[in-house]
A and B are shown apart, each in its own frame.
Chain A
């Protein structure tokens, strides 16, 4: 029996809990007798702590402890790395020595009875340093790029160098050429909910109510840091108020909360300030990319050279998929990619929605747009002309690829045929109007996951996975998968997530939750049904745990990616240079859409993120000491309601039996990926001015 709930636009099953305030987020889990902790960050960008005057602060009202590297316990910091941690380097060992590696690095924690007392103590704590000159600016003569260690092997997931054919000589011989540098600004994730951890010890057991997109790894990481068996740590996170990747890793504040709780022998709550979220919890790294395209006069790509450098910290090599898409988006015999890292005196960057792809595709899709103007060819025709039949980088077929179908659908909805090709040729009254397009792509990942399903005597079912829901609607989509598999109405299925003692799930990132956790939920439901078949009418709850992973055979045979086409229209004021997005249309081929309402909402959110990347978002660092000068929601611009015009997201029919049994590819990241280049290309079309750095602002288009 099937209830056909997959594919239905169900409203969120947790919507009511969220809007009525019943849903509890990490900082809501106040514990009896709880104290509050506030982190004090370094006020120099590099150097050593030479003095901490804890005495006066310890005497302040309510202050229980001032923890610094001098009195902090030496923690075991047993080796532990998950795939979301940088493969090379070592995580920051917090309060273990006097080194300051970046501005804002935690150098003390003040614990007090109330948050006000802790804040007061933190502000009053006097610390002295011997500062050194940090290297912050990528253009600094002393900033030297390195080959990423984990990219050196030829079979690396993110290879430092790849080549097919001979791209450089093809470039030299190419009759048509684009060869430019593109720059992506540092961005911070800035979710609404701040990072927060409530830590409580019971003997040698630790419970953390902590904002995390990866509760089982937070458990493993904290266990390693404190030298505990994993089962002694429990991480609980039922709801997340947005994350965009910033809580994939377990950052030092979680360690500090647990350390403080042990020190004062009370539960401790620690919430980061907005400002601290600008340097303690990762960011999209600044990147510099050279993108060179060679083509024949009739628009056949003869080569692509893509050389990208991303910033990282001095103590870890953060890598992202900056050059990956370049190897398979277009058909061309000659491709060379190079990926380097630039260690600077900053905190380690991390994944931010569309990590790597968003920045890499910006360069690639702007360059292809530039080429289209040089050739005098419609940018969609140029892409069609170079549409590959297979993944030429891996030399194997795509499990499915609907890019051209996406272009057809979105072009029609957008009204691309109304565009006149000449730059500066379209106007609305005084305003210059421009239309631009770009492709989007993101891998259809799938990681091993497991789930538990339980059938109860009253005819309802419970399903549990240690997954997360940072906003896409995991609660709802998994309920749909379980209901459909079990043949139950959705009201009879209760899906739970966000506890590390549930069956393990992969990180809630990389757009693989629907594929991975969804497949595990399906497998567990099938298993419990089978079990139920063995004990009909037992009257007792019947339970089964099952896990799932991608069919290795399919994984070996196919290249698996989602694709999309994004169209944007901007208006630029020719007098004062204001750039406003007027509308955007995206069409995506993402396999099966489990819930069109949630999928659309995901896409709109991603498009807004891409809009921020194109027009507003950047964290500006003072190169004298590495401090972010706009670490404030009034100064770090991201789109507000008045900026956001009509955004449309469409999905093309795409049946992909290879990716997984559900046929889903995931869409969290791809929705951000193509948006920024589509807007940049529209700005060129409007103004005739090519801006190759994000975000594109008034200053950049004022003069042509």
Chain B
């Protein structure tokens, strides 16, 4: 681990100023410290933002507003979240481990970095860690890697669970930087790797995430998150799906579907959503629609199973929307 300095932020403005002059925010530290210990991340100066008043969880009208510093565990356990947006709680509980969820913040979660093993090994080539060095995963072990949004430079998935849900529910985020505040859909936070896989998000230098806003919608309570993995807890998704259906008069009026573990960013499946609209919510319909999910997929040597697992996960998640959590 390289030496670094750390200072506590005393105000939002001060934190932004510090970050604009080259300091890195640190929240729970579960991504950042972990990677600093491996010398994958090498910030020289940190600004601790845990002192900032950004951990509120509140309901505004029908929207759920989550402060960037709210801990995963606290959001998951919040009665309003469980009542109005059970999908959000479900995806958080499925993530990481209890100890990590107690530390990890929502803002940090969205900016967590790739779980690709080569990214974490300084002696492996990895364009994300050191641009231009190559990608060890493309011709290496890539069972956990993406089938959508990949490039010849990087094939790592975005590992967050809650991000998949936020993309499905069309959540937005509020950020503030040296040039003021702005708000945009969470989906626009994530970049595709292209030929710059080291650039992962669209925040401008010094920008601080303030809140995430999940709009209330007719389907927020008919929504489920299914995370498929070999052990019951403490494992990232092989494939996951956040599904929400608005059913009225026996037909699907609107559908939302995003998937994880398959894309270089949380992957919204518009074509599948469209195929569901106007149909009766039954297994046949789900299966037909889910087949569209793998269109355009580019499997790697080790992850062909995702072509089979993805549609099955979608079908099951859609089915689960009709069942209680």
- A: residues with CB less than 8 A from B are 43, 116, 119-120, 123, 573, 575-580, 615-616, 620, 622, 624, 627, 629-630, 632, 634-635, 637, 639-643, 695, 697-699, 702-703
Whether A699 pairs with B305 at a CB distance below 8 angstroms is: yes
Whether B231 pairs with A629 at a CB distance below 8 angstroms is: no
**Known interface pairs A622-B141, A629-B117, A635-B117. Does A697 touch B230 (Cβ–Cβ under 8 Å)?**
yes
Complex: how many Å from CA A208 to CA B121? 32
Least distance between A51 CB and chain B CB atoms (Å): 16
Knowing that A576-B226, A634-B234, A639-B231 touch, tell me 20 more A-B residue pairs with CB under 8 angstroms. Answer: A119-B1, A575-B313, A575-B315, A576-B239, A577-B309, A578-B228, A578-B230, A622-B140, A624-B140, A627-B124, A634-B235, A637-B230, A637-B231, A640-B231, A640-B234, A642-B231, A643-B233, A695-B230, A698-B230, A699-B305
Inside 8 A of A639's CB, which chain B residues have their CB? 231
**Known interface pairs A615-B230, A627-B124. Does A698 touch B309 (Cβ–Cβ under 8 Å)?**
yes
Whether B312 pairs with A616 at a CB distance below 8 angstroms is: no
Least distance between B97 CB and chain A CB atoms (Å): 8
Complex: how many Å from CA A436 to CA B309? 26
Whether B123 pairs with A576 at a CB distance below 8 angstroms is: no
Whether A575 pairs with B141 at a CB distance below 8 angstroms is: no
Is B2 located at the chain interface by the 8 A CB criterion?
yes
Whether B238 pairs with A698 at a CB distance below 8 angstroms is: yes
Interface positions, chain B 217-242, Cβ under 8 Å from A, are 226, 228-235, 238-239
Complex: how many Å from CA A627 to CA B137? 13
Which residue from B2, B118, B139, B232 sits with its C-beta under 8 Å from A640?
B232
The 7 closest A-B pairs by CB, nearest first: A43-B123, A642-B232, A642-B233, A629-B117, A699-B305, A575-B316, A576-B228
Inside 8 A of A577's CB, which chain B residues have their CB? 228, 309, 312
Inside 8 A of B308's CB, which chain A residues have their CB? 702-703
Whether B1 pairs with A576 at a CB distance below 8 angstroms is: no
Is B122 located at the chain interface by the 8 A CB criterion?
yes
Complex: how many Å from CA A703 to CA B120? 33
Which residue from B1, B239, B316 sits with its C-beta under 8 Å from A116?
B1
When each residue 286-316 of chain B gets 1 if its CB lies under 8 Å from chain A and 0 otherwise, what string results?
A: 0000000000000000000100110011011
25 CB-based A-B contacts, threshold 8 Å:
A120-B3, A123-B122, A575-B313, A575-B316, A576-B226, A576-B313, A577-B228, A579-B230, A580-B232, A615-B231, A622-B136, A627-B121, A629-B118, A632-B120, A634-B115, A634-B234, A634-B235, A642-B231, A642-B232, A643-B232, A698-B228, A698-B309, A702-B305, A702-B308, A702-B309
Whether A120 pairs with B2 at a CB distance below 8 angstroms is: yes
Is B39 located at the chain interface by the 8 A CB criterion?
yes
Complex: how many Å from CA A642 to CA B96? 13
**Known interface pairs A616-B230, A697-B230. Does A637 touch B120 (Cβ–Cβ under 8 Å)?**
no
| Among B3, B39, B309, residue most surrounded by chain A Cβ atoms (within 10 Å) | B309
Determine the residue in chain B with the shortest Cβ distance to A41. B123
Whether A702 pairs with B122 at a CB distance below 8 angstroms is: no
Inside 8 A of A622's CB, which chain B residues have their CB? 136, 140-141
Complex: how many Å from CA A579 to CA B238? 14
Least distance between A587 CB and chain B CB atoms (Å): 26
Least distance between B117 CB and chain A CB atoms (Å): 4
Whether B141 pairs with A643 at a CB distance below 8 angstroms is: no
Whether B312 pairs with A702 at a CB distance below 8 angstroms is: yes
- B: residues with CB less than 8 A from A are 1-3, 39, 97, 115, 117-118, 120-124, 136, 139-141, 143, 226, 228-235, 238-239, 305, 308-309, 312-313, 315-316
Inside 8 A of A116's CB, which chain B residues have their CB? 1
Complex: how many Å from CA A116 to CA B233? 32
Complex: how many Å from CA A615 to CA B120? 25
Least distance between B30 CB and chain A CB atoms (Å): 11
| Among B97, B123, B231, B239, residue most surrounded by chain A Cβ atoms (within 10 Å) | B231
Inside 8 A of B238's CB, which chain A residues have their CB? 698
Least distance between A687 CB and chain B CB atoms (Å): 14
Complex: how many Å from CA A627 to CA B124? 10
Complex: how many Å from CA A119 to CA B122? 14
Which residue from B1, B123, B139 sits with its C-beta under 8 Å from A120?
B1
Whether B231 pairs with A123 at a CB distance below 8 angstroms is: no
Complex: how many Å from CA A635 to CA B122? 17
Complex: how many Å from CA A703 to CA B230? 16
Complex: how many Å from CA A697 to CA B144? 13
Determine the residue in chain B with the shortest Cβ distance to A575. B316
Inside 8 A of B122's CB, which chain A residues have their CB? 123
Complex: how many Å from CA A695 to CA B238? 16
Determine the residue in chain B with the shortest Cβ distance to A612. B231
Inside 8 A of A698's CB, which chain B residues have their CB? 228-230, 238, 305, 309
Complex: how many Å from CA A123 to CA B238? 32
**Known interface pairs A576-B312, A576-B313, A620-B141. Does A643 touch B231 (Cβ–Cβ under 8 Å)?**
yes
Complex: how many Å from CA A43 to CA B122? 10
Inside 8 A of B309's CB, which chain A residues have their CB? 576-577, 698-699, 702
Complex: how many Å from CA A699 to CA B303? 9
Complex: how many Å from CA A579 to CA B121? 31
Inside 8 A of B313's CB, which chain A residues have their CB? 575-576
Whether B312 pairs with A629 at a CB distance below 8 angstroms is: no
Complex: how many Å from CA A130 to CA B39? 25
| Among A573, A579, A580, A632, residue most surrounded by chain B Cβ atoms (within 10 Å) | A632
Complex: how many Å from CA A579 to CA B313? 15
**Known interface pairs A575-B315, A698-B309. Does A637 touch B232 (Cβ–Cβ under 8 Å)?**
no
Inside 8 A of B123's CB, which chain A residues have their CB? 43, 627
Complex: how many Å from CA A703 to CA B122? 37
Least distance between A584 CB and chain B CB atoms (Å): 15
Complex: how many Å from CA A699 to CA B305? 6
Complex: how many Å from CA A116 to CA B140? 32
Inside 8 A of B120's CB, which chain A residues have their CB? 632
Least distance between A101 CB and chain B CB atoms (Å): 17
Inside 8 A of A615's CB, which chain B residues have their CB? 230-231
Complex: how many Å from CA A43 to CA B17? 41
Inside 8 A of B232's CB, which chain A residues have their CB? 580, 640, 642-643
Whether B118 pairs with A637 at a CB distance below 8 angstroms is: no
Inside 8 A of B235's CB, which chain A residues have their CB? 634, 637
Complex: how many Å from CA A36 to CA B113? 31
Complex: how many Å from CA A699 to CA B261? 14
| Among A575, A630, A697, residue most surrounded by chain B Cβ atoms (within 10 Å) | A575
Inside 8 A of B239's CB, which chain A residues have their CB? 576
Determine the residue in chain B with the shortest Cβ distance to A117. B3
| Among B140, B143, B230, B305, residue most surrounded by chain A Cβ atoms (within 10 Å) | B230
Complex: how many Å from CA A698 to CA B118? 23
**Known interface pairs A576-B316, A620-B141, A629-B141. Does A640 touch B228 (Cβ–Cβ under 8 Å)?**
no
Least distance between A4 CB and chain B CB atoms (Å): 43
Determine the residue in chain A with the shortest Cβ distance to B37. A119
Inside 8 A of B117's CB, which chain A residues have their CB? 629-630, 632, 635
Inside 8 A of B121's CB, which chain A residues have their CB? 627
Inside 8 A of B228's CB, which chain A residues have their CB? 576-578, 698
Inside 8 A of A580's CB, which chain B residues have their CB? 232
Determine the residue in chain A with the shortest Cβ distance to B319. A575
